[in-house]
């Protein structure tokens, strides 16, 4: 699908994978709306072609307003890339006691329900656009993680949320097939983004050493490159694509 002169909504678009994707889409001629929390938008760089819209992905009214902004921008909304997410870690049982149920619920709320909230509201807007060839109207790309498949110790909440994103990919693609909307999910390995900012250089080197090839962390622009490839390829639909340098994570 061509993205020139179309609108794109990128959640988590002020940082990391979303920030890189917003920039790459704008460089290809899309009118990009980067949805994020106010605190992240304040720290975000100014990028030509990218408009920041403040919203919480878990809030239907705020997401509706952001989608309305993108859909009403004068060019059709055809692309959504869901990157908003959090990645706290906690074990089921630890010295601090049982896993906090509220933390578990929060991770599911943002990573899974937030993704679904944006997907449904944006799908309604994309479904209202004029169809292209093959009755295609748009593409929605979600972000899972390889933790959906090989979650590590302390990732029970995160892996549950990302497993949910993997699980919704095929039925969402099937549901939205009658509207000409493709749904795909990227499952990244370890990407060097602000989410990893607290990791020491030593631990970063250990992480890199465990990756078969290339022996380094992925870069956010490599995620953006994959997102653009998936958008471009009209026959890819309902699939989860790992981007991990052949990494299969060990228990810890």
Ligand X SMILES: NC(=O)c1ccc[n+]([C@@H]2O[C@H](COP(=O)([O-])OP(=O)(O)OC[C@H]3O[C@@H](n4cnc5c(N)ncnc54)[C@H](O)[C@@H]3O)[C@@H](O)[C@H]2O)c1
Binding site for ligand X (CB under 6 A): 11-12, 14-18, 36-37, 40, 56-58, 83-87, 110-111, 114, 143, 145, 188, 190-191, 193-196
Which position among 52, 104, 158, 223 bears the catalytic label? 158
The two beta strands, 138-143 and 97-98, are unpaired
Are 25 and 79 in contact by the 8 Å Cβ rule? The answer is yes
Please say which residue, 73 or 152, places its beta carbon nearer to ligand X: 152
Q: How many CA atoms lie within 13 A of 155 on its CB side?
A: 19
CB of 220 to ligand X, least distance (A): 7
CA distance 104 to 217: 27
Whether a cis peptide bond, with omega within 30° of 0, leads into 229 is no
Burial 121-146 (b: 16+ CB within 10 A, else e): bbbebbeebeebeeeebbbbbbbbbb
Please say which residue, 6 or 143, places its beta carbon nearer to ligand X: 143
CB of 97 to ligand X, least distance (A): 25
Please say which residue, 11 or 169, places its beta carbon nearer to ligand X: 11
Hey, what are 230's tokens? 């998936």
Query: Which regions of the chain does DSSP assign to beta strands (E)?
Result: 7-11, 31-36, 50-54, 77-82, 93-94, 97-98, 138-143, 181-188, 240-243
Catalytic residue flag (residue 158): yes
Please say which residue, 34 or 77, places its beta carbon nearer to ligand X: 34
CA distance 211 to 199: 17
Q: How large is the C-alpha radius of gyration of the chain? A: 18
Specify the residue for token string 């920030």: 19
CA distance 166 to 169: 5
Please say which residue, 10 or 180, places its beta carbon nearer to ligand X: 10
CB of 15 to ligand X, least distance (A): 3
CB of 178 to ligand X, least distance (A): 28
CB of 209 to ligand X, least distance (A): 16
Residue among 237, 235, 37, 48 at smallest CA distance from 140:
237
Name the 3-class secondary structure at 209: helix
CB of 145 to ligand X, least distance (A): 4
By annotation, the residues acting in catalysis are 158
């Amino acid at each position: 699908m061509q993205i020139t002169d179309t609108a794109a909504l990128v959640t988590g678009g002020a940082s990391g994978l979303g920030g890189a994707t917003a920039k790459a889409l704008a460089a290809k001629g899309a009118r990009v709306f980067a949805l994020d929390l106010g605190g992240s938008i304040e720290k975000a760089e100014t990028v030509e072609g990218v408009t920041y819209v403040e919203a919480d992905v878990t809030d239907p009214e705020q997401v509706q307003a952001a989608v309305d902004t993108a859909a009403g921008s004068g060019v059709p909304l055809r692309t959504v890339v869901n990157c908003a997410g959090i990645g706290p870690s906690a074990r089921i049982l630890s010295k601090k006691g049982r896993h906090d149920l509220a933390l578990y619920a929060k991770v599911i709320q943002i990573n899974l329900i937030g993704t679904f909230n944006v997907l449904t509201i944006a799908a309604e807007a994309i479904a209202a656009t004029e169809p292209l060839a093959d009755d295609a109207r748009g593409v929605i790309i979600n972000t899972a993680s390889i933790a959906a498949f090989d979650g590590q110790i302390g990732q029970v909440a995160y892996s549950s949320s990302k497993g949910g994103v993997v699980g919704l990919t095929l039925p969402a693609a099937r549901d939205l097939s009658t509207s000409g909307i493709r749904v795909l999910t990227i499952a990244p390995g370890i990407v060097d983004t602000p989410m990893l900012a607290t990791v020491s250089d030593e631990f970063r080197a250990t992480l890199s050493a465990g990756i078969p090839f290339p022996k380094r962390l992925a870069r956010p622009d490599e995620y953006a490159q994959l997102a653009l490839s998936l958008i471009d390829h009209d026959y890819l639909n309902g699939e989860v694509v790992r981007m991990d340098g052949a990494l299969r994570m060990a228990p810890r």
